[in-house]
């Protein structure tokens, strides 16, 4: 990986995760620090959750994902309705065109640090702008889960007999933390939503990164229902906003 991408991608992912957790009210706003973490010269501080266990989880998650990035083509933060388990929103970083060449002096000269910095800044700025326009989510209504889409990645199948040092133990622990799942459209059963307007997934494209080997596409998906199911989630949703979001 290009040395400048390596330097800044951890901070980028930390901001990406914390911004979503804050703006989508996964945790109370009082649990975030708004005055100490400024990244990529953005006009405002990045809200960072103060809970030490969550901080540790996010830091370890980022290191784990980066260690598997040659196999990962999508990294997703999903917002889950606590009541029925539906994924009502999904925020996606698509690494399908990300170039994973080995870092060397020639490759590191392809792009400079300023270019990498500016791309990450623009991407986060687009995410913030989008999040600030969304309907607010009610307190204690949602949770989150992390999903990766991967190729040629075997997780949780290694035996412990070959673990002889701390690095091997860490790799084993990271592998068994993931659960394999089948990808689906995340739409409710049609029999539950009979009527003129069927459940839909609305996708919004956001600014990603596109300079040299640093190619990341960013988008979000939102579940749209017309039967009032989501009224218990969003505090500012009314009938007109639901109808306007339906194509």
SS (H, E, C) the chain: CCHHHHHHHHHHHHHHHHHHHHHCCCCCHHHEECCCCCCCCCCCCCCEECCHHHHHHHHHHHHHHHHCCCCEEEEEEEEEECCCCCEEEEEEEECCCCCCCCCCHHHHCCCCHHHHHHHHHHHHHHHHHHHHHCCCECCCCEEEEEEEEECCCCCCCCCHHHCCCHHHHHHHHHHHCCCCCCCCCCCCCHHHCCCCCCCEEEEEEEEEEEECCEEEEEEEEEEECCCCHHHHCECCCCHHHHHHHCC
Q: What is the pTM of this model?
A: 0.85
In a domain, 232, yes or no: no
- Checking if the pLDDT of 243 tops 50, the result is no
In a domain, 196, yes or no: no
Q: In terms of residue numbers, what domain contains 164?
A: 3-105+117-183+205-224
| Percent residues over pLDDT 70 in the chain | 76
Q: What is the pLDDT of residues 59-110, one digit of tens each?
A: 999 999 999 999 999 999 999 999 989 999 999 999 999 998 765 656 667 8
pLDDT of residue 101: 73
pLDDT of residue 140: 95
- Checking if the pLDDT of 189 tops 80, the result is no
Query: Contact 205/239 with Cβ under 8 angstroms?
Result: no
pLDDT of residue 240: 41
- Checking if the pLDDT of 230 tops 90, the result is no
In a domain, 238, yes or no: no
Count of domains observed in the chain: 1
- Checking if the pLDDT of 34 tops 60, the result is yes
72: domain CATH number is: 3.30.900.10
In a domain, 240, yes or no: no
In a domain, 18, yes or no: yes
In a domain, 136, yes or no: yes
């Amino acid at each position: 990986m290009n040395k400048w991408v390596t330097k800044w991608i951890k901070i980028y992912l930390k901001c990406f995760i914390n911004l979503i957790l804050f703006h989508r009210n996964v945790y109370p706003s009082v649990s975030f620090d708004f005055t100490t973490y400024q990244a990529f010269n953005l006009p405002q501080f990045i809200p960072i959750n103060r809970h030490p266990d969550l901080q540790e989880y996010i830091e370890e998650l980022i290191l784990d994902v980066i260690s598997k990035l040659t196999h990962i083509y999508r990294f997703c933060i999903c917002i889950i309705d606590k009541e029925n388990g539906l994924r009502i929103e999904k925020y996606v970083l698509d690494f399908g065109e990300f170039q994973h060449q080995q870092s060397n002096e020639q490759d590191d000269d392809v792009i400079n640090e300023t270019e990498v910095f500016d791309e990450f800044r623009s991407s986060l700025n687009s995410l913030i702008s989008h999040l600030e326009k969304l309907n607010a989510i009610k307190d204690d209504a949602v949770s989150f889960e992390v999903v990766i889409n991967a190729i040629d990645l075997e997780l949780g199948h290694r035996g412990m007999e070959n673990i002889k040092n701390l690095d091997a133990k860490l790799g084993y622990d990271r592998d068994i933390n993931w659960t394999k799942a089948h990808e689906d459209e995340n739409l409710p059963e049609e029999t539950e939503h009979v009527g003129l307007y069927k459940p839909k997934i609305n996708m919004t494209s956001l600014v990603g990164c596109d300079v040299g080997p640093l190619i990341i596409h960013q988008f979000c998906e939102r579940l749209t229902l017309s039967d009032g199911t989501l009224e218990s989630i969003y505090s500012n949703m009314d009938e007109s906003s639901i109808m306007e979001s339906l194509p």
